[in-house]
Chain A
Amino acid sequence: MPVMPVKQSGADVQGRMIPLNTEEMLLVRGKEGTLGLVKVGENKQFFLETDNEEIILALEPDDLLVASGFGTDETIVKGLKCILFMIREVGSPFIALSKKHPASRRLKIVVSAGNRTRVSCSITPGTHPEQDILCGSSEFDGVEISGVKGGIEFKNLRYDTFEKIPFNI
Protein backbone atom coordinates (compact mmCIF):
# COMPACT_ATOMS: atom_id res chain seq x y z
CA MET A 1 0.00 0.00 0.00
CA PRO A 2 1.68 3.29 -1.06
CA VAL A 3 2.33 5.74 1.71
CA MET A 4 2.47 9.48 1.23
CA PRO A 5 5.42 11.36 2.74
CA VAL A 6 3.77 12.24 6.01
CA LYS A 7 4.77 10.22 9.00
CA GLN A 8 4.93 11.97 12.32
CA SER A 9 4.62 11.13 15.96
CA GLY A 10 1.66 12.31 17.97
CA ALA A 11 3.78 14.62 20.04
CA ASP A 12 4.66 16.57 16.91
CA VAL A 13 1.13 17.39 15.94
CA GLN A 14 -0.52 18.57 19.16
CA GLY A 15 -2.85 21.43 18.34
CA ARG A 16 -1.44 21.69 14.85
CA MET A 17 -3.47 21.27 11.73
CA ILE A 18 -2.64 18.28 9.58
CA PRO A 19 -3.65 19.00 5.99
CA LEU A 20 -5.94 16.41 4.47
CA ASN A 21 -7.80 16.51 1.19
CA THR A 22 -10.66 14.37 0.00
CA GLU A 23 -8.42 11.98 -1.90
CA GLU A 24 -6.39 11.10 1.16
CA MET A 25 -6.93 9.03 4.26
CA LEU A 26 -5.05 9.67 7.47
CA LEU A 27 -4.01 6.66 9.52
CA VAL A 28 -3.20 7.03 13.20
CA ARG A 29 -1.38 3.91 14.25
CA GLY A 30 -1.23 2.91 17.86
CA LYS A 31 0.01 -0.23 19.57
CA GLU A 32 -3.39 -1.80 19.98
CA GLY A 33 -5.64 0.08 17.62
CA THR A 34 -5.76 2.12 14.45
CA LEU A 35 -7.80 5.13 13.45
CA GLY A 36 -8.68 5.96 9.86
CA LEU A 37 -9.91 9.44 8.98
CA VAL A 38 -11.26 10.98 5.81
CA LYS A 39 -12.94 14.23 4.99
CA VAL A 40 -16.67 14.14 4.35
CA GLY A 41 -16.14 15.96 1.06
CA GLU A 42 -18.97 16.63 -1.33
CA ASN A 43 -21.16 13.72 -0.31
CA LYS A 44 -22.46 15.62 2.65
CA GLN A 45 -25.64 13.74 3.39
CA PHE A 46 -25.59 10.40 5.18
CA PHE A 47 -28.22 8.09 6.61
CA LEU A 48 -28.60 6.54 10.01
CA GLU A 49 -30.98 3.61 10.03
CA THR A 50 -32.56 2.09 13.09
CA ASP A 51 -35.21 -0.59 13.47
CA ASN A 52 -38.01 1.84 12.88
CA GLU A 53 -36.75 5.07 11.40
CA GLU A 54 -34.25 6.87 9.24
CA ILE A 55 -32.34 9.97 10.28
CA ILE A 56 -30.58 12.21 7.79
CA LEU A 57 -27.10 13.33 8.79
CA ALA A 58 -26.26 16.57 7.01
CA LEU A 59 -22.55 17.21 7.35
CA GLU A 60 -20.10 19.81 6.08
CA PRO A 61 -17.29 19.11 3.59
CA ASP A 62 -14.63 19.65 6.23
CA ASP A 63 -16.31 17.38 8.77
CA LEU A 64 -14.79 13.96 9.31
CA LEU A 65 -15.61 10.30 9.05
CA VAL A 66 -13.54 8.53 11.70
CA ALA A 67 -13.21 4.76 11.82
CA SER A 68 -11.68 3.07 14.83
CA GLY A 69 -10.28 -0.43 14.41
CA PHE A 70 -9.32 -2.78 17.19
CA GLY A 71 -6.07 -4.03 15.73
CA THR A 72 -3.03 -2.77 13.91
CA ASP A 73 -2.33 -5.15 11.06
CA GLU A 74 -2.90 -4.50 7.39
CA THR A 75 -6.21 -6.33 7.47
CA ILE A 76 -7.55 -3.72 9.86
CA VAL A 77 -6.15 -0.91 7.73
CA LYS A 78 -7.85 -2.33 4.65
CA GLY A 79 -11.03 -2.71 6.66
CA LEU A 80 -10.90 0.91 7.79
CA LYS A 81 -10.50 2.07 4.24
CA CYS A 82 -13.25 -0.19 2.96
CA ILE A 83 -15.75 0.92 5.58
CA LEU A 84 -15.02 4.58 4.99
CA PHE A 85 -15.21 4.02 1.25
CA MET A 86 -18.55 2.24 1.60
CA ILE A 87 -19.95 5.10 3.63
CA ARG A 88 -18.59 8.07 1.72
CA GLU A 89 -18.30 6.86 -1.85
CA VAL A 90 -20.90 4.10 -2.11
CA GLY A 91 -23.36 5.88 0.14
CA SER A 92 -24.00 2.99 2.49
CA PRO A 93 -26.00 4.00 5.55
CA PHE A 94 -25.00 3.73 9.16
CA ILE A 95 -27.01 0.88 10.60
CA ALA A 96 -27.75 1.03 14.30
CA LEU A 97 -28.42 -2.32 15.85
CA SER A 98 -30.76 -2.56 18.78
CA LYS A 99 -29.34 -2.82 22.25
CA LYS A 100 -27.71 -6.16 23.03
CA HIS A 101 -28.09 -7.32 19.48
CA PRO A 102 -25.89 -10.42 19.10
CA ALA A 103 -24.19 -9.01 16.01
CA SER A 104 -22.74 -6.09 17.94
CA ARG A 105 -19.93 -8.04 19.53
CA ARG A 106 -18.72 -9.15 16.11
CA LEU A 107 -17.88 -5.66 14.95
CA LYS A 108 -14.15 -4.99 14.67
CA ILE A 109 -14.43 -1.43 13.45
CA VAL A 110 -16.67 1.40 14.60
CA VAL A 111 -17.35 4.68 12.88
CA SER A 112 -18.09 8.24 13.89
CA ALA A 113 -19.22 11.14 11.70
CA GLY A 114 -19.18 14.84 12.49
CA ASN A 115 -16.95 17.84 13.03
CA ARG A 116 -15.62 16.61 16.35
CA THR A 117 -14.94 13.18 17.81
CA ARG A 118 -13.62 12.15 21.20
CA VAL A 119 -12.17 8.69 21.53
CA SER A 120 -12.81 6.79 24.71
CA CYS A 121 -11.91 3.33 25.90
CA SER A 122 -13.82 3.66 29.13
CA ILE A 123 -17.39 3.91 27.90
CA THR A 124 -19.60 0.92 28.15
CA PRO A 125 -19.48 -0.78 24.82
CA GLY A 126 -21.68 1.62 22.93
CA THR A 127 -21.56 5.26 22.19
CA HIS A 128 -23.43 8.40 22.94
CA PRO A 129 -23.91 10.32 19.72
CA GLU A 130 -24.79 13.56 21.41
CA GLN A 131 -21.34 13.56 22.98
CA ASP A 132 -19.48 12.60 19.82
CA ILE A 133 -17.79 9.69 21.54
CA LEU A 134 -16.19 6.86 19.64
CA CYS A 135 -14.89 3.61 21.08
CA GLY A 136 -11.18 3.15 20.71
CA SER A 137 -8.25 1.23 22.12
CA SER A 138 -6.77 2.45 25.38
CA GLU A 139 -3.90 4.42 23.88
CA PHE A 140 -6.40 6.68 22.13
CA ASP A 141 -8.42 7.35 25.27
CA GLY A 142 -9.14 11.07 25.55
CA VAL A 143 -7.98 11.96 22.07
CA GLU A 144 -10.02 14.72 20.48
CA ILE A 145 -10.26 14.98 16.73
CA SER A 146 -11.68 17.99 14.94
CA GLY A 147 -12.32 18.56 11.28
CA VAL A 148 -11.11 22.02 10.35
CA LYS A 149 -10.84 23.79 7.03
CA GLY A 150 -8.43 21.83 4.89
CA GLY A 151 -7.35 19.42 7.55
CA ILE A 152 -7.58 17.83 10.97
CA GLU A 153 -6.59 18.91 14.45
CA PHE A 154 -5.78 16.58 17.34
CA LYS A 155 -5.68 17.08 21.08
CA ASN A 156 -4.35 14.75 23.76
CA LEU A 157 -2.39 12.53 21.43
CA ARG A 158 0.60 10.85 22.98
CA TYR A 159 2.91 8.64 20.96
CA ASP A 160 0.96 7.51 17.98
CA THR A 161 2.22 7.74 14.43
CA PHE A 162 0.53 9.17 11.38
CA GLU A 163 0.54 8.15 7.78
CA LYS A 164 -1.37 9.50 4.84
CA ILE A 165 -2.43 7.02 2.22
CA PRO A 166 -4.46 7.43 -0.95
CA PHE A 167 -8.17 6.99 -0.36
CA ASN A 168 -8.93 4.60 -3.16
CA ILE A 169 -9.82 0.95 -3.49
Chain B
Amino acid sequence: MCSVGDAFNIEVQQLNAKFYKCGDCNNEFRGVGRKVICPSCQSSKVALMFKEE
Protein backbone atom coordinates (compact mmCIF):
# COMPACT_ATOMS: atom_id res chain seq x y z
CA MET B 1 0.00 0.00 0.00
CA CYS B 2 1.29 3.34 -0.84
CA SER B 3 0.51 6.99 -0.98
CA VAL B 4 2.32 9.25 -3.33
CA GLY B 5 3.17 12.78 -4.32
CA ASP B 6 2.21 14.39 -7.63
CA ALA B 7 -0.72 13.00 -9.63
CA PHE B 8 -1.83 10.75 -6.84
CA ASN B 9 -3.35 7.73 -8.48
CA ILE B 10 -3.66 5.02 -5.93
CA GLU B 11 -5.48 2.05 -7.38
CA VAL B 12 -7.58 1.10 -4.42
CA GLN B 13 -9.62 -1.33 -6.46
CA GLN B 14 -6.49 -3.43 -6.93
CA LEU B 15 -5.68 -3.78 -3.25
CA ASN B 16 -7.42 -7.16 -3.12
CA ALA B 17 -9.38 -6.01 -0.11
CA LYS B 18 -12.15 -8.31 0.98
CA PHE B 19 -15.48 -7.72 2.64
CA TYR B 20 -15.77 -8.75 6.27
CA LYS B 21 -18.57 -8.83 8.81
CA CYS B 22 -18.01 -8.67 12.54
CA GLY B 23 -19.58 -11.51 14.49
CA ASP B 24 -19.95 -9.35 17.59
CA CYS B 25 -21.25 -5.99 16.38
CA ASN B 26 -22.32 -6.86 12.80
CA ASN B 27 -20.13 -4.09 11.40
CA GLU B 28 -19.34 -4.62 7.72
CA PHE B 29 -16.07 -3.39 6.36
CA ARG B 30 -13.34 -3.97 3.80
CA GLY B 31 -9.96 -5.20 4.86
CA VAL B 32 -6.69 -6.59 3.61
CA GLY B 33 -4.17 -8.66 5.51
CA ARG B 34 -3.95 -11.85 7.49
CA LYS B 35 -5.38 -10.91 10.88
CA VAL B 36 -8.13 -8.41 10.25
CA ILE B 37 -10.05 -7.22 13.30
CA CYS B 38 -13.20 -5.15 13.47
CA PRO B 39 -12.40 -1.43 13.36
CA SER B 40 -15.53 -0.67 15.32
CA CYS B 41 -15.37 -2.99 18.36
CA GLN B 42 -11.85 -4.44 17.93
CA SER B 43 -13.22 -7.97 17.88
CA SER B 44 -11.23 -10.63 16.09
CA LYS B 45 -14.42 -12.55 15.47
CA VAL B 46 -14.80 -11.45 11.88
CA ALA B 47 -15.91 -13.51 8.92
CA LEU B 48 -15.28 -13.14 5.23
CA MET B 49 -18.43 -12.18 3.36
CA PHE B 50 -17.21 -12.77 -0.16
CA LYS B 51 -14.04 -12.18 -2.10
CA GLU B 52 -13.46 -8.91 -3.92
CA GLU B 53 -13.66 -9.32 -7.68
Contacts and interface: CB of A to CB of B under 8 A. Distances in A.
Contact of B9 (A108, A112, A125, A134): A125
Interface residues of A, number: 46
A30 interface: no
Interface of B: 1-12, 14-17, 20, 29-37, 39
Max chain B C-beta neighbours (<10 A), residue from A57, A99, A129: A129
Interface of A: 44-45, 47-48, 50, 53-60, 70, 94-101, 103-114, 117, 124-130, 132-135
Closest 4 CB pairs of A and B: A58-B33, A126-B9, A107-B5, A125-B6
Nearest to A127: B2
A56 B2 contact: no
Determine chain B's interface SS by DSSP, over half rule: loop
A100 B5 contact: no
Contact of B1 (A57, A60, A109): A57
B6 to A, nearest CB: 3
Determine chain A's interface SS by DSSP, over half rule: mixed
A111 B5 CA distance: 10
B44 to A, nearest CB: 10
A130 B4 contact: no
B32 A58 contact: yes
B5 A70 contact: yes
B35 A111 contact: no
Contact of A114 (B1, B7, B12, B29): B1
Given A57-B32, A114-B1, A134-B2, A129 B11 contact: yes
Contacts of A58: 31-37
